[in-house]
Structure 1
Amino acid sequence: MQKLFISLPGNSDYKVYTSDSGGGFAFRFSSFEGHEEVNLKMNQTNDESFLSENLGGQHFNIPTHEEYVKLVENTVAHIRKNDLGKIVMSRPQRFDKIIEPVLVFKKLVEAYPTACVYLFTHPEVGTWMGATPETLLSKKGDVLKTMSLAGTQKKGEEDKFTGKEKIEQELVTDYITEILNSEKGVEGVKAEGPIIAEAGNVVHLKTAIEATVQGSFNLSSLIKKLHPTPAVAGFPKKEALEFIKKNEPYKRSFYAGYFGLNQRTDAHYFVNLRCMQVFHDSVVLYAGGGITRDSNPEAEWEETENKMQTLLQVLK
């Protein structure tokens, strides 16, 4: 069974899609590294049933608090030694809890109307669910929109943003605008911000980026150039990806990858953040943070804890 439940940002309702070779919607679910990808034709359905056949058992390393702090320490040292800008380091956390995926999805839709909330189940990739605050790319007619989302503080502590978070944000903004400006068929790139944007129980620095497109524009090509952005990988990208591959003690799989739904001239793609993988007897949540030369390892651990609360508050 292949089924998608999705609520786009700003909506209080949701739609359900099921795989159909003649479907009018195209859905893509891509992993962080891009080596795994599911592409489906889908049609809308009223069938909200969920079968547990796509809930497997999880078998991968879960780093401890001490291990993650040490990983961040090593990352900071590597950044300073090699004069790099930023590397995003992440971690999974398992919770021994049996859930009803559709029920939790509906609670997430109610709790986070400004996020893209989704539930996707597939026999090969399992069952994933999340409430992501980050648009990778959206297209409506000839208008293209994306965002730079980086830098994190707890809600209520917006005044604690420092130079570290502002530099993180600028790196992502510059990366995205440079790619858009160099892309064939993209014109009039504009960036506005940053502003403070809420995402669950944390806030981020956000810059809205907009452009127009014409006939020679290729959406799939642009997405592959953009992803992974410095918001989920780091900068310079090549060096950051190499370090992540060698040092993160687990495989990200579809965490920090992207997913999107296309129909005719419209498309909506999102970065797979604030997400979890659902198993028969547990759920695994994922979170990461942008590490720079000024990062505090304990504060970075705390940031991942705060990000996981977006889903944990609903699971409780």
Structure 2
Amino acid sequence: MHSITTALENLMRQLSQEMPAAPGIRVFDVPFPLNDAFDALSWLANQSIWPQFYWQQRNGDEEAAVLGAVATFRSLDLAQQFLRLHAHHADLRIWGLNAFEPQRGNLVLPRLEWRRCGGSATLRLHLYSEHSLREDAADAVRFLSSLVGIKSLPALHLTLTDEKHSPDKTGWMNLIQLATRTIAQEQLDKVVLARATDLQFSRPVNAASVMASSRRLNLNCYHFFMAFSADSAFLGSSPERLWRRRDTALRTEALAGTVANHPDDHRAWQLGEWLMKDDKNQRENMLVVEDICQRLQNCTHTLDVLPPQVLRLRKVQHLRRCIWTALNQPDDALCLHQLQPTAAVAGIPRELARQFIQQNEPFEREWYAGSAGYLSLQQSEFCVSLRSAKITTNIVRLYAGAGIVRGSDPEQEWQEINNKAAGLRTLLQMEV
């Protein structure tokens, strides 16, 4: 018998107890032995219940699959307020996305939460009602009864029928030239500009299959997937942490500066060495470091900036500087609004860069360059939602951006966004 079957039966037994016809919240945890080949993403994607959210920490130690919602929050601020109202359940986790404009979110307290940490896993059921826990328990029984077993995700065999960049290459060249002129006039220090690429296929694209392929090949990344309905999802594999909080201990990072990767280790090392010494890329990274430190200085203790590293990914390599500190008090809403959007995805000064993006980018960023993860009173962790795609039936929208500073070359920046988009594009069995 599969672990998931046993765990669900255990939860059903616990729901047989009498519940009060009163408002409240209840949490039921059952152990989940990792003694079979259970794949949380495949199990999640086989269900006909939404929303679905999958998240894996970039070192692979933590993984979660959540299904359904007993409470939904349209901003992280509202989610944090809810957690503080239920402080007696300090380990409640709320999962989901924050949009590029951080006051908008799609976050849920799930009906069902599978969570693995290291070599142990738990299946958790939430009951929550503002009126009657007894009624919600009956809803939960119906929910569990509707779940189905695991089937393998379908392979990605896709035929491309149309492709459109927004902006196209000519538009990109003009946009970068406008940005560099604005920077030369000292109105901006940096602006991060992005391109959306709509790929149309001959039949619907299975979003979970794209996520599974990306998880298998794009190492050293956070993996996130949110299905809003049967034919609409947002997913990605991002190398960048927005923040991780454990009580007041806070870790964030500046990930800015890019060069191509290479399958030959020695050639990849040479490219990485060039990145460490290149003035434009070092300057771009330090602008992000300085902006983060400035934003956090009034709400944290001493800020420790670690030495630069080269982060090697499948298609590109990045400069990364980690920043460690401690908050004056635990506050995830403060972390979100101080850190997002970082200078690595928007620019400096932040408000002027956001205005430039809003006025000149020919598409809406929505969830792209926002964040994906979870918050609780005890801890939280969000990654920046980069290397991402929006999938709507048979159309895949890929996103990629580049940091524009003084001296940026439009042709090189076009190649950079091609390299970044390749992390997901090559999974769709096409040439880069």
- Give the structure-2-normalised TM-score: 0.66
Of 159, 172, 182, 2:288 maps to: 172
AA aligned opposite 1:7: Q
AA aligned opposite 1:166: Q
Contact 2:165 2:195 in 1 (8 A): no
AA aligned opposite 2:227: T
Of 187, 191, 195, 1:87 maps to: 191
Distance 1:160 1:125 in 2: 43
Larger radius of gyration: 2
Task: Judging by fraction of residues, say which structure has more strand.
Answer: 1
Deviations along 1:113-168, one digit per CA (max 9) or x if unpaired, are: 32110110125994101001110011124421111100111012224332111111
Contact 1:12 1:110 in 2 (8 A): no
Which residue number corresponds to residue 71 of structure 1? 175
Give the 3-state SS of the residue equivalent to 1:294 in structure 2: coil
Which residue number corresponds to residue 386 of structure 2? 273
Of 258, 262, 271, 2:375 maps to: 262
Of 195, 198, 207, 1:101 maps to: 207
Distance 2:211 2:96 in 1: 19
1:149 paired with 2:262, answer no
Contact 1:197 1:206 in 2 (8 A): yes
Contact 1:173 1:207 in 2 (8 A): yes
Contact 2:232 2:393 in 1 (8 A): no
Aligned length: 305
Spell out the pairing of 1:122-201 with structure 2 (5 A cutoff): 122-123=228-229, 126-155=232-261, 156=268, 157-161=271-275, 162-183=278-299, 186-201=300-315
Runs of 4+ in 1 over 6 A off after TM superposition: 46-50
Which residue number corresponds to residue 339 of structure 2? 226
Contact 1:12 1:109 in 2 (8 A): no
- The alpha carbon displacement at 1:13 in A equals 7.6
- The alpha carbon displacement at 1:192 in A equals 0.3
AA aligned opposite 2:59: G
Distance 2:231 2:251 in 1: 29
Distance 2:319 2:253 in 1: 10
AA aligned opposite 1:171: L
Contact 2:52 2:227 in 1 (8 A): yes
Deviations along 1:89-129, one digit per CA (max 9) or x if unpaired, are: 10101112342222221222221332110110125994101
Distance 2:230 2:301 in 1: 39
Contact 2:253 2:321 in 1 (8 A): yes
- The alpha carbon displacement at 1:25 in A equals 2.0
Distance 2:232 2:219 in 1: 25
AA aligned opposite 1:32: F
Contact 2:296 2:338 in 1 (8 A): no
AA aligned opposite 1:243: F
Contact 2:243 2:250 in 1 (8 A): yes
Distance 1:49 1:64 in 2: 40
- Give the structure-1-normalised TM-score: 0.89
Structure possessing the higher relative contact order (Cα contacts under 8 Å, 6 or more residues apart): 1
Which residue number corresponds to residue 57 of structure 1? none
Distance 1:61 1:223 in 2: 30
Spell out the pairing of 1:265-304 with structure 2 (5 A cutoff): 265-304=378-417
Contact 1:144 1:211 in 2 (8 A): yes
Q: Percent identity?
A: 23
Of 51, 62, 74, 2:166 maps to: 62
Which residue number corresponds to residue 105 of structure 2? 37
Gaps of 5+ in 2: 1-49, 72-90, 115-122, 124-146, 153-163, 262-267
User: Which sits farther off after the overlay, 41-50 or 127-136?
Assistant: 41-50
Contact 2:231 2:391 in 1 (8 A): no
Change (3 A) 1:125 1:204: farther
Contact 2:369 2:386 in 1 (8 A): yes
Contact 1:94 1:282 in 2 (8 A): yes
User: Which sits farther off after the overlay, 216-225 or 70-79?
Assistant: 216-225
Distance 1:35 1:91 in 2: 23
Of 298, 304, 320, 1:206 maps to: 320
Gaps of 5+ in 1: 51-59
Q: CA RMSD in A?
A: 2.5
Deviations along 1:211-265, one digit per CA (max 9) or x if unpaired, are: 1235x33221121111111100101112111111111111111111112212441
Distance 1:213 1:293 in 2: 34
AA aligned opposite 2:302: G
